[in-house]
């Protein structure tokens, strides 16, 4: 069994910050899938066609999301294979799959991973969505100077979709905890197993 710890969850759930603390605390390498994904995506034949379509501006953000799903499933399988016994930080989309075949592929890739942890601020879906989209809107405003409503709808989709819950071996509700406190909770939970 691969002793990797994979963190999944919607945008602004605290995956990256928590994963960095976990890696440091456990003496493991931190791997961010969003940093590696383009290399993995390029391994699939349709990559250039999809990039050209998306650059054309003919489709909106929500439709773009669907085009990337086969690439994301491929990237998950590859990163798990290439980086065993690490702390893996998956981007928000890498834990959500509408297509049953893609979901099964990701489940198979993660079946050898000891810990797949879903981070959410609350078990209440509406509350979790509100908290995360408030954070996400602030981030978008800071980075892009504007808030794209489609991005907030996509993040709401990530919160509500059941596939991330089916992939998780554990759900950690972060509430108002800092990433350090979430890290402590995960480490404590891992120690009790």
Boundaries of every domain in the chain: 2-191
**CA pseudo-torsion sign 6, 9, 132, 143:** positive
Residue 153: CB atoms within 10 A of its CB come to: 13
Mean pLDDT of all residues in 13-35 = 97
CATH number of 2-191: 3.40.50.300
Contact predicate 89/22, CB 8 Å: no
pLDDT band at 193 (very low <50, low <70, confident <90, very high): low
Selection from 3, 26, 8 nearest residue 184 by Cα: 26
| Residue 1: band (very low, low, confident or very high) from pLDDT cuts 50, 70, 90 | low
pLDDT tens, 53-93?
Answer: 777 877 777 777 888 899 999 999 999 999 999 999 998 99
Q: CA neighbours within 13 Å on the CB side: how many for 116?
A: 23
């Amino acid at each position: 069994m691969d002793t990797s710890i994979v963190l999944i969850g919607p945008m602004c759930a605290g995956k990256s910050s928590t994963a960095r603390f976990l890696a440091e605390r456990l003496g493991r390498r931190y791997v961010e899938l969003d940093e590696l994904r383009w290399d993995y995506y390029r391994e699939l034949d349709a990559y250039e066609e999809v990039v050209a379509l998306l650059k054309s501006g003919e489709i909106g953000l929500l439709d773009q999301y669907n085009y990337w799903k086969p690439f994301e499933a491929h990237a998950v399988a590859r990163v798990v294979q290439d980086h065993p016994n690490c702390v893996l930080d998956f981007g928000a989309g890498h834990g959500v799959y509408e297509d049953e075949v893609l979901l099964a592929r990701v489940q198979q890739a993660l079946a050898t991973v000891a810990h797949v942890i879903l981070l959410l601020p609350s078990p209440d879906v509406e509350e979790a969505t509100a908290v995360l989209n408030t954070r996400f809107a602030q981030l978008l405003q800071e980075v892009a100077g504007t808030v794209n409503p489609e991005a907030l709808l996509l993040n709401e989709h990530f919160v509500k979709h059941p596939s991330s819950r089916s992939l998780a071996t554990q759900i950690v509700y972060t509430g108002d905890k800092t990433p350090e406190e979430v890290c402590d909770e995960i480490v404590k939970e891992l120690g009790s197993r």
